[in-house]
Amino acid sequence: MDHVKDTLIFAGGGGGDALAALMIADTLGLDPKRTAFATLVWERTLFDPEPGPRAPEDFEAIEAVGEHNHRITPSSRLRGDRTTFVPRLAESFGVSYYLMDVTRGPERVRTQISELQRRLGFEQVLVVDVGGDILARGHEEMLRSPLADGLALAGTHDLDVDVRVVVSGIGLDGELSQEDVEDVHRDLIEGNDTVETDVITPDTAARFASAFRWLPSEVSGLTTAAALGHRGIAEIRSSGLRVELSDESRTVRSFTQEDVYRRNEIAEAFSGATSIQACETVLNDFGRTSELEFERRSRKRLEESASARTDGNLPMEDLEQELLAYSSSVNEENVQYLSIRRIAKVLDLQRHELEAFKTYLADQHGDRFQPPIWTCSAGTATAIPEIQVDATYAASGT
C-alpha cells in the first residue's frame, strides 16, 4: 500500500462536487490525512466545449497510479482549448484527486476503486452528490443529469467495501420537483434508522467559499450560500429554474448505497456497461435525454452566438445596466438571488466575457456580487466572513 487511508470520497457528479467532497469531509470530521478523493472531470460546455466527461488521455501532466488509475495534481491540465478546475482545487486545498474514467462505463469505475482500495486500504467509500438528483428513481420529469448519477451508482455497487451516498441540498439543483422531494423523504428518510444527518456550518462554508471567485459551480455554490445564512429564492441555470435557499439546502444526509441503488432504475440498467455510449443508449431506451445531448445542443448555441458577434469590446456599463434591470424585474417576483450561470445566460456571455464581467462586478458591486451568487436587491446582501483554510486541511496530501 502507498499510504493507509480510512475513506475514499468520490465526487459523483464532477464539477462542483469535487469541492463539495472537501466540504463534506470537513463537515463529517474526517481526518484529511487519512482521506483520499476521487472525481469525474465533466465541466460545462462554456469551459469545455467537447461534450461529455474527460478520460486520462485528455490530460497533460496526469500521474499514472497502478494499472487503472491516474491522479490529478495542481500541474495537470486538459489538452487544447478546454478548462477543468480540478487542478486548481488541488492546488488551493492541498489535495489530489483520482480521476474516475466513466468514459469506459461503470465497470471501469468499479475496477478503479477496487485497485485503489488494495493500494490505500480504505474501509469506506462516500459518493457525494449536491442537489440530491442521485436519489431519483429515474422517471422524474425535471431530471437533467441521469447519466453521471447512474454511472456513479452503478460503478460503486457491489464493491468489497462499505459504500454510502452522501447528499446535501436535496432539490437545490432544480432536478427534483417538490413532489419528487417528498417521495424521497417518504421512501428513503422517514423511519430509516440507517440515514445519518448533519449540517454544513458557517465556519466550514466560509473556509471554502473563496473558491467560488473562480469555480463556476452552481449547486455547490448554493449550498455554501445557504450555510453562510442566505435565504430566499434563487434563479439558476440557463433555463431560469427557481429554487429556495433554506435550512434544507445546507443539510447533509448519508444513505446506504443499496437503498439509493434500488430506487434508481437507470443505474441498475447500466450494470455491466463498458462505455458511456452504451449507457446513453440505455437512457434512450428509457425515453430520457442524456447530459451528452444537452451539451451537444449547448455547444451549437455557443458557436452560433460567438459567430454572430461583431464587436470584441465588451460594453461593461451596458451589461451592468442590463443586469440591474433584470435583477429589479425578477426581484418583483420575489427572486432574491441569481447564480453566476444564470447571469451568463441572461447576458449571453462567452467564457472570457463572463470572467471579465465578474471582475467588473466585484469592483463595482462588491456588496451584491458575492460568488457564487448575485443579490438582486441592493442593501440586502449577507456579509460572508473571511476564514482562512485550515493549514492541517491544506496539508492533506494524497
Q: Is residue 43 part of a domain?
A: yes
pLDDT number for residue 397: 44
**Cα–Cα dist 367/71, whole Å:** 38
DSSP per-residue string spanning 26-56:
HHTT--GGGEEEEE-----TTT--S-S---G
Mean pLDDT of the chain: 92
pLDDT band at 312 (very low <50, low <70, confident <90, very high): low
pLDDT number for residue 354: 93
Of 159-163, 180-184, 268-272, 326-330, which gets the smallest average pLDDT?
Answer: 268-272
Span 17-73, pLDDT tens digits: 999 999 999 999 999 999 999 999 999 888 999 999 999 999 999 999 999 999 999
> Measuring CA to CA, how many Å separate 364 from each of 23, 37, 284, 292, 360?
30, 37, 47, 37, 6
Q: Which residue in the block uniquely carries the three cell numbers 458577434? A: 309
Q: What φ, ψ does residue 373 adopt, rounded to 5°?
A: -135, 160
Residues, the chain: 398
C-alpha angle 258/148/121, rounded to 5°? Answer: 55
Q: Is residue 217 part of a domain?
A: no
Spell out a b/e string for 377-395, using b for 16 or more CB atoms within 10 Å of the CB, else e: eeeebeebeeeebbeebee
Question: How far does Cα 104 stand from its chain's mean position?
Answer: 21
When divided into structural domains, the chain yields a total of 1
Model's pTM, two decimal places?
0.93
Question: How far does Cα 50 stand from its chain's mean position?
Answer: 18
Quote the domain boundaries for residue 110.
7-201+248-276
Instruction: Residue 334: count other Cβ atoms within 10 Å of its Cβ.
Output: 10
Q: Report which secondary-structure segment, H or E, holds 93.
A: helix 86-93
Q: Does residue 113 surpass a pLDDT of 80?
A: yes
Asked if 122 contacts 7 with a C-beta cutoff of 8 angstroms, the reply is: yes
> Measuring CA to CA, how many Å separate 33 from each of 30, 42, 190, 387?
9, 26, 35, 21
Q: Is residue 368 part of a domain?
A: no
Q: Is residue 183 part of a domain?
A: yes
Q: Is residue 233 part of a domain?
A: no
User: What integer is the mean pLDDT of 339-352?
Assistant: 93
**Cα–Cα dist 218/133, whole Å:** 14
Quick one: what percent of the chain has pLDDT higher than 70?
93
Q: Is residue 397 part of a domain?
A: no
On the 0-12 / 13-18 / 19+ scale of CB atoms within 10 A, 84 is buried
Q: Does residue 273 surpass a pLDDT of 90?
A: yes
Q: Is residue 330 part of a domain?
A: no
**Cα–Cα dist 145/237, whole Å:** 13
Q: Is residue 59 part of a domain?
A: yes
The number of helix segments (H) and strand segments (E) in the chain equals 15, 16
Query: In this structure, what DSSP letter does residue 138 have?
Result: S
Q: Report which secondary-structure segment, H or E, holds 22.
A: helix 17-27
Q: Does residue 310 surpass a pLDDT of 70?
A: no
**Cα–Cα dist 20/153, whole Å:** 18
